[in-house]
Amino acid sequence: MSENLRFACTGCGKCCTGHHVPLTLDEARQWAASGGQVVVLIEAFVVDGPGMPADQREHVLRRSHPVPCGDGEVRVAVTFAAFNPGRCRNLDDNDLCTIYETRPLVCRIYPVEINPHIPLRPENKDCPPEAWEQGPELIHGAQPVDPQLAALVQASRQADRDDIAAKVAICEALGMTCSALKGNGFTAYLPEMAAFATALQQMPVGDGAAWTLHVSDEGLAGALHALGMRTTGETPVYYAFIGF
Ligand code: SF4
Ligand code: SF4
């Protein structure tokens, strides 16, 4: 890991291609209103049990929400992201962002990491080598040097915490109540956008819907059953299971 990194964006546009961009609730509302597709990614864990990374306890607890599962309870973390399987719909022919002044927080933060437990590694980013050989210092001692950038990272983390109850309620209202286990994968839904936009406007209250965990590993399923959790390993119809 490099503790101190210089950086200057070359404008190559690679980070705007093939990346699902995490959105705050407000940004998801704007994305939907402008005709964009949102993908919903869900992962869950049992507190101090399966799926919970012990070294990230505080972080994952604060950005998750408790839901019933079988006879027990899991906490789910939900990401609403701009669905960008190819070029972002806002990237023009010159590789410039057409909504630059109002682009999502995560677009403003890239290539800096949002998760405090993930160190910034240039080899994990799309930026070309020369981007890391020029420009001012971006990271010093694992922290962003620019206070405005540091504030954006904090704002993104805070939105994760502030939005999670509402995102879970929207998932429940739209029947997106099957989650993967954190560390084992995600479930991914592509909601019908008119219904999704309506739910974002109406802001439903969570209805205590029963959740299910999608696990394809029999040993893991057995461990979860022993804790009273409800699981499924059936081939999904309304979502995709993205395993690790
Ligand atoms: S919104 Fe703009 S900055 Fe963000 S991925 Fe799309 S084109 Fe890139
Ligand atoms: S991949 Fe890196 S260098 Fe290329 S446009 Fe994105 S931030 Fe800039």
- Asked if the model's pLDDT at residue 2 lies above 70, the reply is no
For the segment 59-97, what is each residue's pLDDT rounded down to a tens digit?
A: 999 999 999 999 999 999 999 999 999 999 999 999 999
Q: 122 CB under 6 A from ligand 2?
A: no
Which residue's CA lies nearest to atom 1 of ligand 1?
Answer: 103
Task: Tell which wins on pLDDT, 196 or 207.
Answer: 196
Q: 103 CB under 6 A from ligand 1?
A: yes
Burial (0-12, 13-18, 19+ Cβ within 10 Å), 229 = buried
Which residue's CA lies nearest to atom 2 of ligand 1?
Answer: 97
Per DSSP, helices labelled H in 188-236 are 193-202, 218-226
Query: For residue 113, what pLDDT is reported?
Result: 93
Average pLDDT along the chain:
94
Residue boundaries of the structural domains of the chain:
5-243
Q: 127 CB under 6 A from ligand 2?
A: yes
Which residue's CA lies nearest to atom 5 of ligand 1?
Answer: 16
Query: For residue 33, what pLDDT is reported?
Result: 94
- Closest ligand 1 atom to residue 110 Cα is 3
Query: Span 152-164, mean pLDDT?
Result: 97
Tokens, residue 15: 């980070």
Q: 108 CB under 6 A from ligand 1?
A: no
Separation of alpha carbons 231 and 112, rounded Å:
36
What does the DSSP assignment read for 18-69?
S--EEE-HHHHHHHHHTT--EEEEEEEE-TTSTT--GGGHHHHHHT-EEEEE
For the segment 7-64, what is each residue's pLDDT rounded down to a tens digit?
A: 999 999 999 999 999 999 999 999 999 999 999 999 999 999 999 999 999 999 999 9
Q: 159 CB under 6 A from ligand 1?
A: no
